[in-house]
Amino acid sequence: MRIGYLTYGLDRAPTGIGRYAKELLLAILADTHGHEITILSTEQTLDPDLANHCAVRNLPGCRTLPALMSAGNLLIGRAAHDLKLDMIHDPNGIAPFLALPRRTGRVVTLHDAFPFVQPESHNRLDNWRYRWFLPIALRRTDSVITVSNTSKEDLTRDLNLDDIDVAVIPEGVGRQFTGRGLGTDDQTLRQRYGISSPYVLYVGALNGRKNIARMLQAFRLAYRDHPEYALVIAGKRQWKAEAIDHVMEDPVLQRVVKFTGYVPDEDLPGIYRGATAFLFPSLYEGFGLPVLEAMACGTPVITSNISSMPEVAGNAAILVDPYDVSEMSAAIGHVLGDPALHEALTNAGINRASAFNWDATAQQTMAHYERVAATRARCESTVIQHQDRKSVNAD
């Protein structure tokens, strides 16, 4: 098959969806199963690791989401026609498929259903996209990939996907997320970010859905018994983050909390390895990749007992009610104060993370492309046979 793979936002600081799109594509390019891959790129500049390994078709003017959702439909349709694409996969959850040729199959990865579950914690454009644009685009989509059973249930319910094929294909953990403890290079990296040991860590975006304010309150309570610890928060500030500012008025937190800002992928493993514990008390996630990344690096994890986090973490993390500050604080205290528990969580986490890798994600995704193509071929054959019968009857 000739497969178009849509990339979006990879020339900026990519977060979870961007990492999924890039890591999946790299794994696909390592073993294309004989298929021909073309990147449909919205970026001004594309990572050479991607651009140098397959053909690239640029989509000029589509670097912003509104442009991709409008003019992008026409440009992608033109690319599909010119390149005779058999399939297009949008791994970003946008689905600008409104002008594709009939012959081209359409697959989109929808990572979660946050505008339905947590609409108050997101911007208007994303909420509008899920509630108005996607329902139209999905009528012209062959299949949806999502990353957890939780997301499949939410998306099927909220977007009425009962008549659309929805496949669950989990994300993977990059090979760079490995090891345990701090090495010399990690210590240098820590100093560059102004991080002092020992510390507890959060990695991810800073927005309302991530529950950072309650996490800060929980750490403040645990700090009373563990004053040697700092809290490091690594991530880019986004929308609905005002509650963080309110909690950070506490002078103790101002002294012991370090906001690093966005940390690029190449620096994350060293930041994970240096942490005594990893906190991820999100209120809603489609997958929660940082949970597995921390586990792979040997860092004990405390995460939420709702949404997809129990599905991803299994029995290898402490699961807490993300709305209960006292319960979260107690869990932090247990991990910091109990060496046996710390060691058990470290070992369990490493074993759990080893079950997820991008090669497996790519293999399942390529197999899914082939299933979608086979289904389309059967449907097309049925239509042709029906038309032939009508023609014979007319004669």
Residue 388 has pLDDT above 60, yes or no: no
Domain identity same for 191 and 335: yes
Phi, psi values for residue 320, rounded to 5°: -130, 160
**Residues found in the chain:** 395
Domain identity same for 362 and 347: no
Domain identity same for 285 and 314: yes
Number of domains observed in the structure of the chain: 2
- The answer to whether position 179 is within a domain reads no
Global pTM reads 0.92
pLDDT digits (tens, 9 = 90+) for 279-328: 999 999 999 999 999 999 999 999 999 999 999 999 999 999 999 999 99
Give CA 311 to chain center in angstroms: 15
pLDDT digits (tens, 9 = 90+) for 213-224: 999 999 999 999
Domain identity same for 111 and 197: no
What gap in Å lies between CA 341 and CA 339, rounded to an integer? Answer: 5
Residues 232, 258: contact at Cβ < 8 Å? yes
Domain identity same for 152 and 202: no
Domain identity same for 319 and 204: yes
Domain identity same for 161 and 208: no
Residues 40, 10: contact at Cβ < 8 Å? no
- Segment 145-159 shows an average pLDDT of 96
- Secondary structure element (H or E) that encloses residue 5, with its range: strand 2-7
Q: What is the pLDDT of residue 74?
A: 97
Three-state DSSP state, 257: strand
Non-local (6+) Cβ contacts of 8 within 8 A are: 18, 21, 42, 43, 62, 65, 68, 92, 94
Sign of CA dihedral 301, 307, 308, 312: positive
Determine the Cα angle at 264 with ends 258 and 269, to 5°: 80
Domain identity same for 346 and 364: no
Sign of CA dihedral 215, 216, 221, 227: positive
- Residue 378: pLDDT band by 50, 70, 90 thresholds? confident
Give CA 271 to chain center in angstroms: 19
Closest CA to 199 of 224, 233, 231: 231
Domain identity same for 106 and 234: no
Residues 57, 37: contact at Cβ < 8 Å? no
Residue 391 has pLDDT above 60, yes or no: no
Sign of CA dihedral 112, 115, 120, 124: positive
318 beta partners: 302
% of the chain at pLDDT higher than 70: 95
Non-local (6+) Cβ contacts of 117 within 8 A are: 154, 158, 284, 307
Domain identity same for 89 and 151: yes
Three-state DSSP state, 330: helix
What gap in Å lies between CA 163 and CA 143, rounded to an integer? Answer: 10
Domain identity same for 94 and 126: yes
- The answer to whether position 105 is within a domain reads yes
Per-residue tokens: 200 = 């507890």
Q: Peptide bond preceding 198: is omega within 30 degrees of 0, i.e. cis?
A: yes
- The answer to whether position 312 is within a domain reads yes
- The answer to whether position 395 is within a domain reads no
Select the more confidently predicted residue: 47 or 382: 47
- Residue 393: pLDDT band by 50, 70, 90 thresholds? low
Three-state DSSP state, 248: coil
Domain that holds residue 212: 184-352
Residues 118, 125: contact at Cβ < 8 Å? no
Q: What is the pLDDT of residue 262?
A: 93
Per-residue tokens: 49 = 């690791």
Residues 281, 258: contact at Cβ < 8 Å? no
- Residue 381: pLDDT band by 50, 70, 90 thresholds? low
Q: What is the pLDDT of residue 374?
A: 94
Give DSSP secondary structure letters for 210-264.
GTHHHHHHHHHHHHTT-TT-EEEEES-B-SS-HHHHHHTTSHHHHHHEEEEE---
Q: What is the pLDDT of residue 162?
A: 85
Domain identity same for 50 and 147: yes
- The answer to whether position 43 is within a domain reads yes
Q: What is the CATH number of the domain that holds 32?
A: 3.40.50.2000
- The answer to whether position 177 is within a domain reads no
Average pLDDT, the chain: 92
What gap in Å lies between CA 110 and CA 132, rounded to an integer? Answer: 15
Three-state DSSP state, 56: strand
Q: What is the pLDDT of residue 181?
A: 61
- Residue 233: pLDDT band by 50, 70, 90 thresholds? very high
For the chain, the maximum distance between any two Cα atoms, rounded to a whole number of angstroms, is: 89
- Segment 208-234 shows an average pLDDT of 97
What gap in Å lies between CA 334 and CA 342, rounded to an integer? Answer: 8
Per-residue tokens: 59 = 């989509």
203 beta partners: 234
